């Protein structure tokens, strides 16, 4: 059976809804990235704070269930973007929304400092190794031109 390819009905498109859902999806992605950055276990629910632009605030509140579910959020506070920014929190800014994950109870600061220092040491060693290669005339002679 052959049929005509379906065509989009422009009357059914809602640019504002697409913008809102895009911002919500980006917020969820930011939450997941921040959680991964500090090694929060996937099953652990954490609180989040969002400072949303006035035109997005009501939509974010109405769709908070998606953020709770997809971002593993225990409590979501949605405020105007004019509200004070929380202290001691990780932050990400996406499409008119500032997303914050308070660090209190989320990470062990001493343990996180140790992890970051270890990562810094590893990166510094790699940098020295690469700099050593780049200063070696034999290596440079064998390398293809860029």
Q: How far apart are CA 10 and CA 4, in angstroms?
A: 18
Band (105; pLDDT cuts 50, 70, 90): confident
Whether residue 90 contacts residue 38, with contact meaning beta carbons closer than 8 Å, is answered with yes
Question: In the predicted model, what is the mean pLDDT of the chain?
Answer: 93
Residues in contact with 20: Cβ distance below 8 Å, sequence separation at least 6, in sequence order: 56, 59, 60, 63
Say if residue 32's pLDDT is above 90: yes
pTM of the shown model: 0.76
The mean per-residue pLDDT over the stretch 123-139 comes to 94
List the structure tokens of 45.
Answer: 């629910």
Q: What's residue 138's pLDDT? A: 87
Band (90; pLDDT cuts 50, 70, 90): very high
Tell me how many helices (H) and strands (E) the chain has.
Answer: 5, 4
Band (78; pLDDT cuts 50, 70, 90): very high
DSSP state of 130: H
Distance separating the N- and C-terminal Cα atoms of the chain: 53
Band (25; pLDDT cuts 50, 70, 90): very high
């Amino acid at each position: 059976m052959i049929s005509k390819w379906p065509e989009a009905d422009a009357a059914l498109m809602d640019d504002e809804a697409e913008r809102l859902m895009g911002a919500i999806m980006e917020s969820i992605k930011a939450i997941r990235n921040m959680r991964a950055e500090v090694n929060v276990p996937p099953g652990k629910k954490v609180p989040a704070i969002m400072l949303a632009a006035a035109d997005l605030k009501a939509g974010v509140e109405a769709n908070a269930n998606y953020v709770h579910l997809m971002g593993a959020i225990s409590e979501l506070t949605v405020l105007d973007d004019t509200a004070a920014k929380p202290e001691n929190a990780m932050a990400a800014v996406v499409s008119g929304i500032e997303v914050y994950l308070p660090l209190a109870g989320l990470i062990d600061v001493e343990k996180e400092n140790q992890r970051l220092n270890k990562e810094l040491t590893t990166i510094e060693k790699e940098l020295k190794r690469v700099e050593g290669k780049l200063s070696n005339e034999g290596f440079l002679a064998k390398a293809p031109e860029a």
